[in-house]
Structure 1
Amino acid sequence: MDQDDRTRQDDRMLHSSSFGAAAVAYAEHRPDYARAAVRWACEPAPGPRVLDLGAGTGKLTATLVALGAEVTAVEPDPAMLTELRRALRGVRALAGGAEALPLPDASVDAVLAGNAMHWFDMAVAGPEIARVLAPGGILAGLWNVLDDRTEWVAALARAGGSAAVGPRDTPASWRAETTGMHLPRTGGAARFGSPEQTVFPHGQRRTADSLVATLATRAGILVMPAQEREATLSRIRAFLAGRPETARGEFTLPMLTGVLRVRRL
């Protein structure tokens, strides 16, 4: 591994491990996922057993339960897992990560990951996911992205900067960033078919204050030095206060839930 690879890996680890410190705020402010998107992700699966991988505080888990899936949630961060168990007491929730799954072979019909697949080391996680998936099973990643086709949302993305609106946070960038994120087809290992991508309309009711609180749970902001973080959030507050769409009371933040799915052959 060269220095650039080590630096990228260190950055990924820093960002992916940042959420535990904001677990309570994450549970309160992060959006759920469009139900139509979750159905589309699951509907080709051969059965109802679903692994929510990198489940966080249970945003995707709750939707899967509501849709009648038999859900097992796996999450590596203790603080996030505590919030999930508190909110969803009837769900089987296990400590673990994508690279070492605490599940038997062929034990699930689908593996879903909500805003988490980009944190996985797919060279290691790919074979593990293939191992726990039943033949014909589905791997799907879901991401909530800002719908920047709306002018004020596009302006918010510019005002927030790359820390608040990252490389997968708008529809075009999401498609580009996730296109190659499916599992590799390797010689003796289980193979996966061609990936499919699509998006579904979604939205979240917010106020200016709660939208700032939502953006404050993003990894790019969580890892900032305190002074830089407050300056970024203050800039976003000022932007929202100056827009007629967001200056007063509640509004709907236009979003899309993007889904990338691939079938285990």
Structure 2
Amino acid sequence: MLNFDDDYAAPAAHPMPPAAPSLPQPAWTSPAIAKGWSGEISTPAATAKPAEDIAHRRVRVEDKLIINARADVNQLVPFKYKWAWEKYIAACANHWMPQEVNMNRDIATWKDPNGLSDDERHIIKRNLGFFVTADSLAANNIVLGTYRQITAPECRQYLLRQAFEEAIHTHAYQYIVESLGLDEGEIFNAYHEVSSIKAKDEFLLPYIDVLSNPTFKTGTPETDQAFLKSLIAFACIMEGLFFYVGFVQIL
């Protein structure tokens, strides 16, 4: 669930120690560690920071928000949204690969002239035509859009696992098309050539584009609402309606 708590007020910045003169430090380099050209790691005594300063920089649970947080998104712990981490662990335990599924019976049924009716074959090909690109769109929405706006690292971790699941789904559809000996050009271009599939994808694309725009950032009522609309479009309409209708037709 989205958490639209008040913005976290960032602590006052502490002055950075001067960089070693032999090698200017980039912004992302730890102020306490400088790497020389020789590859050796040195820790100059002059750059050591008091223990209280280091503790002050550590992320606290109360600093974390699903969106609009100012805490470091690279520090996974301490957990605030433990449900997200638990879902990540569960998703990893549910790992599978398409080639683990034996397609021999499906291949025999498809090749049998009496195995399926023409209408059943048409439904299967139409749904595959939608699925082969739809999961790519779902992955794009996650990695190019949603992930950028989420500021809780444990939630980001689950999104990365979800994106991999979308890749597995796309792989699975390719595996089915190849196993059944279907026309790859026909199936993979259906989103261009079949008007109903094209219409679904064209409905979804703006919800990817708005989040993947480099200038888009949550933090105002308008942008927070746009972010929520994108989540609804993919989680409810695409996953909950478009996908499940296709699954029911095939099953």
More strand by share: 1
TM-score range, shorter chain: under 0.3
TM-score (norm 2): 0.23
Structure of higher CA gyration radius: 2
TM-score (norm 1): 0.22
More helix by share: 2
